[in-house]
Amino acid sequence: MSKYSIEQFIEQTRQQDKGEGLFELETPRMLEVNLDGEVWAKMGTMISYRGNMKFEREGVFEHGLGKLFKKAFTGEGTSLMKVRGNGKVYVADQGKKISILQLSGDSIYVNGNDLLAFEPTISWDIKMMRRIAGMLSGGLFNVHLEGTGMVAITSHYEPLTLLVTKNNPVYTDPNATVAWSGTLEPEFVTDITLKTFLGRGSGESIQMKFSGEGFVVVQPFEEVYYSTQQS
């Protein structure tokens, strides 16, 4: 069989059942959900499915007025869709790398833009970060996830996890910060020296400071967020 034949291409790229459960990485950038019930996924990330599936946009009052108010206040938000049915559904987000996390009573924060999918057994809420004028084009919001179940997050390229200890805080670029443990409460700090060095009033001069005990996940990419609300 030719190295470049259609048969060889199919053999190399065809879908394979790995028997890993509800969430399965079909490729590093494509999530297979073996569904028998329902799951939440980021709106617009479905690329294929087989079986009997129903896709529902997140209802305006689906999660109560509190979350609706927060999404309206931030001017942005993670638009979710509920996928119901029995079969396989494949989701991906602009070719970003996917990581699966199994929460067992744990708590994490995920940048709203980097949340791909999660089980309905996970409770969640929108966490608005303290805003600084001119910090980011669209501000910054995160989703707090807690409970037992699986969560899929995305990152541009390979993620890096940094451990935070009481005597060794971690500083990150907000645009490169993907997630952090629920035990941490970040604050925004301004590096005046770096600001002067760069000759501008945003970007690397604004940092997120993580103190305490936990971890922070960063990516080698500075994401730009857009909002309908002015900074």
Query: Count of alpha carbons within 13 Å of 99, Cβ hemisphere only?
Result: 19
Which pLDDT value is given to residue 20?
A: 79
Contact 139, 77 (CB under 8 A): no
For 136, the domain range is 19-218
Which pLDDT value is given to residue 214?
A: 97
Q: Which helix (H) or strand (E) holds 194?
A: helix 192-198
Query: Count of alpha carbons within 13 Å of 43, Cβ hemisphere only?
Result: 10
Which pLDDT value is given to residue 230?
A: 35
* CATH code for the domain in which residue 44 is found: 3.60.160.10
Quick one: 202 exposed, middle or buried, by C-beta within 10 A (0-12, 13-18, 19+)? middle
Residue 9 lies in a domain: no
Which pLDDT value is given to residue 202?
A: 47
Which pLDDT value is given to residue 231?
A: 31
Which pLDDT value is given to residue 212?
A: 96
Which pLDDT value is given to residue 67?
A: 55
Averaged over successive runs of 10 residues, the pLDDT of the chain (231 residues) comes to 87 86 95 96 95 83 51 54 96 97 96 93 81 50 92 97 96 93 90 57 72 97 58 31
Residue 125 lies in a domain: yes
Residue 223 lies in a domain: no
Q: What's the CA gap between 140 and 225, in Å, rounded?
A: 8
Q: What's the CA gap between 162 and 170, in Å, rounded?
A: 8
E-strand stretches of the chain: 23-27, 30-42, 46-57, 80-91, 97-111, 115-118, 122-128, 141-155, 160-164, 170-172, 177-181, 187-190, 206-210, 214-218
Structural domains of the chain, count: 1
Q: End-to-end CA distance of the chain, in Å?
A: 59
Residue 124 lies in a domain: yes
Q: Which pTM was predicted?
A: 0.84
